Chain A
Amino acid sequence: MVGYLLRRFLQAIIVVLGVVLIVFLLSRMIPGGEARAVLGPKATPLTIREFNRVNGLTQPLWVQFWHYLIGLPQLKLGYSYKFTQPVWAVIQHRLPKTLVLVGTSVVLALAIAIPLGVVQVVRKGRASDYALTGVAFVLYAMPAFFLGTLLIIWLSFDARLLPVSPPSDASPFAVWTDPKAFIMPVLTLAALTIAAFSRYMRSSLLDAMAEDYIRTAKAKGASNRRVLYGHALRNALIPIITLLGLSLPGIVSGAVIVESVFNYPGMGLLTVQAAENTDIPIVLGTTLVITVATVIGSLLADILYVLVDPRIRYGGSF
Chain B
Amino acid sequence: MTSADESRETPAFGVSATEAPVALGFGELVVPEEAATAAEQPAAPEGGEAQTTGGIARQIARVFLEHKLAVVSLAFIVLMILFCWVGPLVYHTQQVNQQAVLLNIENGPPGATGHPLGTTNTGFDVLGRIMYGGQVSLTVGLLSALVATVVGVVYGAIAGFFGRWLDAFLMRVVDIVLSIPALFLLIALVTIFHSSEPLLILVIAGISWLIPARLVRGETLSLRTREYVQAVRAMGGRGPRIIGRHIIPNAIGTIVVFATFQVATSILLLAALGFLGFGVPAPQTDWGTMLSNAVDAAANGWWWEIYPVGICIVLVVVAFNFIGDALRDSLEVRTQRR
Contacts and interface: CB of A to CB of B under 8 A. Distances in A.
Contact of A295 (B23, B179, B306): B179
B99 interface: no
B14 A253 contact: no
B187 A283 contact: yes
A143 B23 contact: no
A311 B12 CA distance: 10
A294 interface: yes
Interface residues of B, number: 62
Contacts, number: 200
Interface stretch (A25-33, A72-80, A83-91, A177-185): A25-33
B303 interface: yes
B185 interface: yes
A30 B192 contact: yes
A290 interface: yes
Contacts of B22: 246
A109 to B, nearest CB: 10
Interface stretch (B74-82, B128-136, B154-162, B269-277): B269-277
A254 B20 CA distance: 21
Contacts of A291: 179-181, 184
B295 to A, nearest CB: 6
Interface in B171-206: 172-173, 175-185, 187-194
A179 B301 CA distance: 27
Contacts of B20: 242-243, 246
The interface residues of chain A, by DSSP majority, are classed as: helix
Interface in A231-279: 239, 242-243, 245-257, 260, 268, 271-272, 275-276, 278
A283 B275 contact: no
A145 B271 contact: yes
Interface stretch (B52-60, B223-231, B236-244, B314-322): B314-322
Chain A, interface size category, equals 35 or more
B67 to A, nearest CB: 15
A153 interface: yes
Nearest to A37: B192
Closest 5 CB pairs of A and B: A254-B27, A250-B23, A18-B176, A196-B29, A253-B26
Interface of B: 10-15, 20-31, 33, 172-173, 175-185, 187-194, 268, 271-272, 275-278, 288, 291-292, 295, 298-299, 301, 303, 306, 310, 313-314, 317-318, 321
